Structure 1
């Protein structure tokens, strides 16, 4: 019977690998914790418009040009403000859609806080290259009470 000599370094490496738990040898599917997202440094406000009435639709375009020589992280956002004296708008009564790159309108979820409905910033964040323009098309429809009152306020969040 032939025997084979195994170098000592190989034995030491095999012993070291055997001692490592298998959980450390596999890549995690998701990070255990993530750093908190930095808030925007400023907002660029766009012209406002009244909420459409009688179940009509209103298209809103958000346009921002990065005129700087550096790339910039931005996020388009649409706020729908309730009247100052109430009543607060119900997120279920408003449908906000965004025009996707394939030309179809996709419903965008609205969050709500103290009478303001809004699109979340984090999913909308993107890097806008130097001297490029961001253009997003939205469509607002009142699907609940036809007498809903409010203001549509588009804006762009700027980071860093």
Structure 2
């Protein structure tokens, strides 16, 4: 059956995918609809109040919140940064245990990336679109596993449009 569908598509001159995009042209004088795309990288960050990293082995919660007060949909992503002191020592992902509160009330582990002494949560996987008036609330629980760790915890929201 699949082969016959492919034959019908080929016989009708229809193509899909990149080949279609490369060969498809608008008719002369035809109006084209404006294309709106969400940028792949954030265009702005809204920082929430930062706090000192507590290396006491206790669990500490951080909440990232944002309300879409615009009249249009807005793509956002919550993020938690753990920033090392400028002079080091630099934090490693193994220095902390980060968890996120799931919709069912359980805590799920969150992988952190690292770059130049900053630990951070992934933005692409956290992206979501908020409708006008909709609120984002993301709760993280951070436990510092290395008692000598120092730094700052910075919750923030990435805005894509």
TM-score range, shorter chain: 0.7 to 0.9
Q: Distance in 1 between matches of 2:136 and 2:78?
A: 9
Contact 1:76 1:136 (C-alpha < 8 Å) held by counterparts: yes
Matched residue, 1:5: none
Q: 1:86 aligns with which of 70, 85, 88?
A: 88
**What is aligned with 2:58?**
56
Q: Secondary structure at the match of 1:92?
A: helix
Q: What TM-score results when the alignment is normalised by the length of structure 2?
A: 0.76
Structure 1 124/19 Cα, relative in aligned 2: closer, same or farther at 3 Å? closer
C-alpha RMSD over aligned residues: 2.7
Q: Secondary structure at the match of 2:125?
A: helix
Deviations 1:71-128 (CA, angstroms, capped at 9, x unpaired): 1000000000001110000101111110000000011000000100000100000001
The Cα of 1:54 is off from its aligned counterpart by 2.0
Aligned residues: 135
1:32 corresponds in structure 2 to none
Partner of 1:157: 158
Runs of 4+ residues over 6 Å off in structure 1: none
Deviation of residue 17 (structure 1)?
2.6
CA contact (8 A) 1:69 1:130 kept: yes
Distance 2:144 2:136 in 1: 26
TM-score by length of 1: 0.77
Say whether 1:146 aligns with 2:136.
Answer: no
* Unpaired runs of at least 5, structure 1: 1-13, 28-36
Summarize deviations over 1:17-65 as a string: whole Å, max 9, x none. Answer: 3895xxx99x9xxxxxxxxx62111000000011112211110011101
Return the alpha-carbon distance in structure 2 between the equivalents of residues 42 and 138 of structure 1: 21
Aligned equivalents of 1:102, 1:76: Cα separation in 2: 19
Aligned to 1:99: 101
